Every structure is written in C-alpha cells, then in structure tokens.
Amino acid sequence: MTDYVKLISELSREQRESLANSNPLSFSQQRLWFLHQLDPESAAYNIPAAVRLKGPLNLQALESTCNEIVKRHEVLRTAFLSFDGKPLQVIAPAFDLAVAVIDLSGSEVELREAEATRLALDEISKPFDLTMLPLIRVLLMRLADDDHIALVTMHHIISDGWSIAIFIKEMAALYNAFSQREQSPLTELPIQYADFALWQREWLSGDQFDRQLSYWRKQVAGALPRLQLPADQLQ
C-alpha cells in the first residue's frame, strides 16, 4: 500500500481532484474523516466483533477467509488521504490481511478468560491511521486446541453495525467452504460501497441539496425546546 499511496501523492493537483470527484467519500465517511482529523489518536470509532470458535481450527482456512472478504469488499482495502485539506479515497487493488495469533493455552485454565478479555480490550482501544492500510484487524486468541476467540476490529469509516453482521455471516460461509477445500459459495458483488457514495453525491446535489438544507434549517430555526429530564434519576 505504501507504493500506491506514494503514486497518488505524486499526481498533480488536477489529477487528484479528478480522482476525488470520480471516487468521493460518502457523507458519513466524510464526517468520520473530519472527526479523525480532530483526534487522530482516538479509538472511539473502532467497531469490534468477537466470535467464539469451538472445535479444531484450520488457521490457513481462516486467513484465506479473511482475505477473500477483503477481496470481495473494496471498502475494506480503502485508505483515506488528505490533499489540500480535502479527503481522498484510495482503493488498493489488493493486499494481504494477516491474522495475529496469541496462544493462551499455556496459562492456567482459570486465568485464560480474564486474559482474553484484557487482550481484547487492549486491541479495540488501539487507534487506526486512516491513511494506512489495513483499517481492519483480526486477532485470534487460542485458549485451547479446540477453543478460540476471533476478534475483528474495524474503523467505523469502513464499517457499521449492519455491515459487520454481513462480515461475520460471510466469514462463516467461507470458512466452512475453505476448511473443506471447496470454492467460495458467495456470488460476486454487483456494486461496491464506492458506487453508493458516488450515487449519493450525485443525488444530493443541486436543487435536491438545496431542498434538504432548507428543510433542516427550518427544523432547527429559533430556540430549541428544553429537554425535560427527571432530575431524581440522574447519578
């Protein structure tokens, strides 16, 4: 990814503007990018998901599974650069996602769960650098030969609660296939998130943008209503 970023940085201003216009961030992504500029060391927008895996584990199949998902979804191999104070979306053609493995099976049985929890909390508190791939991390904690916890952490700019559920669903389908040396059962995606972002920008422009802006200006015009909270419930 470093070479790809370097290539983008060497483009002229006109070329970068053309790239940004043809592959823009969605409004949600731009909001998250802006918040990241304010506090780049924050992990507040990390989205974690943990899966308990019982039974023998095929690590090679798991790594192939994660990389197939990254291959399927462009947004999972997207970095966000800043040129002239504006965000630029850079989609890498490919990259390998490594699964980090921590073996806790040598610890005392009664301590393994607590250590796994500590490691998970430490993992999800690590910030991402939006200019560098990956913006997704996979940590596998081995508690025993037949007991593992897979922790997936993504930055909110490439994921949300809905899409991480899709990630876990695809992870299960692909792992089952790859562990049996079968091909992916998933069909190729007809559109990518970048296609939605471009459509959103094109739709919410011109008169449509003016109408939406006018509506919300009316909604928040004047003094806002006082929020009535029961003070005896506050702690």
Per-residue confidence band for 235, with pLDDT thresholds at 50, 70 and 90: low
Instruction: Determine the pLDDT at residue 22.
Output: 62
Instruction: Determine the pLDDT at residue 168.
Output: 93
Domains and CATH numbers, the chain: 2-182 (3.30.559.10)
Query: In this structure, are residues 115 and 75 in contact, taking their beta carbons and an 8 Å threshold?
Result: no
Instruction: Determine the pLDDT at residue 16.
Output: 63
Each residue's pLDDT tens digit, 141-179: 999 999 999 999 999 999 998 899 999 999 999 999 999
Q: Is the pLDDT of residue 18 over 70?
A: no
**Which tokens in the block code for residue 6?**
């370097």
Q: What is the Cα–Cα distance from 108 to 114, expressed in whole angstroms?
A: 11
Q: What is the Cα–Cα distance from 89 to 112, expressed in whole angstroms?
A: 41
Each residue's pLDDT tens digit, 138-151: 999 999 999 999 99
Name the residue with tokens 């994660």: 66
Instruction: Determine the pLDDT at residue 5.
Output: 55
Q: What is the Cα–Cα distance from 19 to 11, expressed in whole angstroms?
A: 10
Cα 147 to Cα 105, 113, 140: the distances in Å are 9, 11, 10
